[in-house]
Amino acid sequence: MGSFAVEASADRITTVPPAGDLAAFVAGFVCAEGCFTGGDDRFRFAVGLGATDAASCHLVREFFGVGHVYEHPRRKEHYDDEVTYVVQPLRELLEVIVPFMDEHLAPSYKRTQYEAWRAELLDYWETRAKRRRSCSRDDCDRPNRARGLCRRHYYEAFGR
């Protein structure tokens, strides 16, 4: 997925960069630091760290090729600055994050959390997400207007 240089924001590094299999490193890192949140109509995957480990968030961002890294100033004087890698768009979650986690996230408590989150995400996508759906007729790819049908097929079926 590309090379990556590790930089420390405070002359120290607390997360060891990967030496071999990057996918295994990312999966283990998510298992330790990842967070799957959401429900109702908002879902997100995030990894939050102290700013000294910002390179790890950038590495995960580079690996997945989606999402954003946000930097936040310390909330209290004795806290560290923070950095967060976040993926929130539904398509990015469904097309990138879910397939990776299905394949690489090891059996663990984090996997259990992920599976519950994924079930809610998929249910939301299939039943309540606002997105363009096509006509339910197999031979038609026009947009769905009412009762699962495009305008033409709706008028053919209901004559209105």
Q: How does pLDDT run across 39-54, given as a tens digit for each residue?
A: 778 999 999 998 888 8
Cβ neighbours of 149 (radius 10 Å): 19
Q: Which residue has the higher pLDDT, 126 or 95?
A: 95
For the domain covering 22-129, report its CATH number.
3.10.28.10
Q: Where in the chain is the domain with CATH 3.10.28.10?
A: 22-129
Helix, coil or strand: residue 135:
coil
Amino acid at 28: G
Which DSSP symbol is given to 105? P
Q: Would you state the pLDDT for residue 138?
A: 84
pLDDT tens, residue by residue, 72-108: 988 888 888 899 999 999 999 999 999 999 999 999 9
Cβ neighbours of 83 (radius 10 Å): 22
